[in-house]
């Protein structure tokens, strides 16, 4: 935590969050305190009340658990904030269920941020890790822009290039995959790499190609 929390209940809540998901940052917002994991806003606190950010299917999932929108819990507010949800007590009392909700909210916030950042870029060479060389390479498989690149995905691009007889290696895959996460290859975590390799090997297997091996 990097900001003083006023009440004992709020302090206990923040401590509970950090026990479940590690270090978080707290920043003052116009409506309360914003909760950040790394650079992603995933929730807010008003006094000792926690709200998790959710949209789409995640919001429906929270509602199925009994969560209620901020608009319902604060009906007199002049702010039309509908994508924040207060979880029911039984969920927050269940560490496993509560942690799952926190992680889902954080993951969605991260995906939305990355999507917004990538949406600002049109040409492949503008993405992190990539250059005109990569742009020309992907053009050989009819991937001409960022939107198409996002749709096809790094693993399928790798497979398409390989099937064309173009020499590809794991370094190229890391560059492509990390670009779609809007982060430098060197900053990929071991957990992210493990997930990305699984995605690549699934795509290779489906295409009748041998999986890659990593150390």
In this structure, the answer to whether residues 148 and 107 fall within a common structural domain is: no
Structural domain contains residue 107: yes
In this structure, the answer to whether residues 101 and 22 fall within a common structural domain is: yes
In this structure, the answer to whether residues 180 and 85 fall within a common structural domain is: no
In this structure, the answer to whether residues 129 and 199 fall within a common structural domain is: yes
82: confidence class by pLDDT, cuts 50, 70, 90: confident
In this structure, the answer to whether residues 103 and 29 fall within a common structural domain is: yes
* Domain containing residue 190: CATH number: 1.10.150.20
Domain boundary among 118, 134, 167: 118
Beta-carbon contacts of residue 180 (< 8 Å; ≥ 6 apart): 114, 118, 127, 149, 150, 153, 154
The domain total for the chain is 2
Instruction: Write down the pLDDT at residue 187.
Output: 93
The conformational region for residue 94 under phi > 0 = left, psi -120 to 50 = alpha, else beta, is beta
Contact 85, 70 (CB under 8 A): yes
- How far lies 127's CA from each of 123, 143, 150, 155, 182, in Å? 8, 14, 11, 17, 7
The answer on pLDDT for 188 being more than 60 is yes
Least confident of 72-86, 141-155, 167-181, 186-200: 72-86
Expressed as residue numbers, the domain containing 187 is 122-206
* Domain containing residue 93: CATH number: 3.30.1460.30
Contact 138, 159 (CB under 8 A): no
Full DSSP string of 169-191: -HHHHHHHHHHHTTS-GGG--HH
pLDDT (tens digit, 9 = 90+) per residue, 113-161? 888 888 888 899 999 999 999 999 999 999 999 999 999 999 999 999 9
pLDDT (tens digit, 9 = 90+) per residue, 4-63? 555 566 677 778 899 999 988 888 877 778 899 988 999 988 877 899 999 999 999 999
The answer on pLDDT for 208 being more than 80 is yes
Residue in 11, 14, 86 with CA at minimum distance from that of residue 53: 86
Rounded to two decimals, what is the model's pTM? 0.66
Structural domain contains residue 2: no
In this structure, the answer to whether residues 77 and 145 fall within a common structural domain is: no
In this structure, the answer to whether residues 163 and 89 fall within a common structural domain is: no
- Count CB neighbours of 140 within 10 A: 11
- How far lies 75's CA from each of 8, 89, 111, 185, in Å? 26, 20, 30, 46
Instruction: Write down the pLDDT at residue 171.
Output: 95
């Amino acid at each position: 935590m990097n900001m003083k929390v006023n009440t004992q209940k709020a302090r206990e809540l923040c401590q509970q969050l950090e026990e479940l998901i590690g270090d978080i940052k707290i920043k003052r917002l116009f409506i309360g305190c914003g909760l950040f994991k790394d650079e992603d806003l995933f929730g807010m606190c008003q006094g000792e009340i926690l709200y998790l950010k959710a949209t789409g299917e995640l919001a429906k999932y929270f509602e199925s658990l009994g969560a209620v929108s901020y608009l319902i819990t604060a009906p007199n507010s002049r702010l039309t904030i509908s994508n924040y949800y207060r979880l029911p007590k039984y969920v927050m009392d269940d560490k496993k269920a509560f942690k799952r909700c926190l992680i889902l909210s954080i993951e969605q916030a991260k995906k939305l941020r990355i999507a917004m950042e990538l949406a600002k870029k049109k040409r492949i060479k503008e993405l992190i890790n990539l250059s005109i060389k990569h742009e020309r390479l992907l053009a050989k498989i009819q991937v001409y822009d960022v939107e198409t690149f996002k749709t096809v995905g790094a693993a399928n691009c790798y497979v398409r290039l390989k099937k064309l007889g173009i020499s590809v290696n794991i370094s190229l895959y890391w560059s492509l995959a990390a670009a779609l996460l809007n982060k430098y290859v060197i900053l990929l975590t071991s957990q992210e790499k493990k997930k990305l390799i699984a995605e690549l090997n699934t795509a290779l297997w489906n295409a009748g190609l041998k999986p890659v091996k990593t150390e």
